[in-house]
């Protein structure tokens, strides 16, 4: 097992984490603009400039602390892109489409990072940094995709479920949203969140790793060293 300094680890993770959360939010805003709501566009949020999306706590503090503590689990979030459902052509349906777009962007980025790993492998030792960043990119995008798909408002999965439920049920379910963050923290602290996420992440990795050319044990060995 090789060892990396904290500075090396941060340099490997910073680009995958920033891209994962930035593209996720931009995709929400872009899809909303296509469906009638230009709020994010007018506020200058449809940009890949991370400074427009960085949340001091979710983008910097939480991922940094998790990496520093070697928790074996890294995630983060950006400032949510504003979406005004009243401007959408079909508000209930379109909100669900806007919501699912974020996790789908993470899946697409996971595929891109997997392909980058193949490029790094072809470059040999010169491509080691690309291989490490690719592994970090696959992992962070898998976490964000699966976490956001949980059917809990205000996560994307909760908004998708709200869009699919009949009107009265959708209204009752959406009232969970003010408590959703606290429910999520409770699941994290009790360890229940990990029990839910890891099997689902395994399914996504089973799709992405063959694209990367890495074996699961090799992926986990390098990932452990990066954490």
Cβ atoms of 86 and 125 closer than 8 Å: no
Asked whether the beta carbons of 213 and 117 are under 8 A apart, the reply is yes
Q: Cα separation of 135 and 113, whole Å?
A: 7
Using a 10 angstrom Cβ sphere, with 0-12 exposed, 13-18 middle and 19 or more buried, the burial of residue 164 is middle
Is 177 in the active site?
no
The active-site residue, picked from 25, 125, 177, 218, is 25
* Residue 92: Cβ-neighbour burial (10 angstroms; 0-12, 13-18, 19+): middle
Which residue blocks in the chain are alpha helix, DSSP H? 6-34, 39-42, 62-68, 91-122, 128-148, 156-164, 167-174, 177-190, 192-212, 216-226
Active site residues: 25
């Amino acid at each position: 097992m090789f060892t990396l300094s904290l500075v090396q680890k941060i340099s490997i993770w910073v680009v995958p984490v920033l891209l994962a959360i930035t593209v996720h939010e931009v995709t929400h805003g872009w899809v909303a603009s296509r469906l009638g709501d230009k709020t994010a566009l007018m506020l200058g949020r449809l940009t890949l400039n991370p400074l427009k999306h960085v949340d001091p706590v979710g983008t910097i503090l939480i991922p940094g602390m998790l990496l520093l503590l070697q928790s074996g689990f890294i995630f983060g979030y950006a400032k949510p892109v504003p979406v005004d459902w009243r401007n959408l052509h079909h508000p209930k349906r379109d909100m669900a489409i806007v919501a699912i777009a974020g996790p789908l962007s993470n899946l697409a980025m996971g595929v891109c990072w997997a392909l980058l790993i193949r490029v790094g492998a072809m470059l040999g030792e010169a491509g080691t940094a690309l291989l490490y960043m690719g592994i970090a990119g696959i992992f962070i995008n898998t976490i964000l995709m699966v976490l956001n798909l949980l059917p809990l408002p205000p996560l994307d999965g909760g908004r998708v479920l709200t869009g699919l439920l009949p009107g009265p049920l959708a209204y009752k379910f959406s009232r969970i949203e003010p408590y959703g963050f606290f429910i999520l923290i409770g699941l994290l602290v009790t360890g229940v969140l990990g029990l839910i996420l890891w099997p689902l992440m395994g399914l996504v990795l089973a799709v992405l790793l063959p694209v990367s050319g890495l074996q699961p044990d090799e992926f986990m060995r390098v990932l452990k060293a990066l954490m």
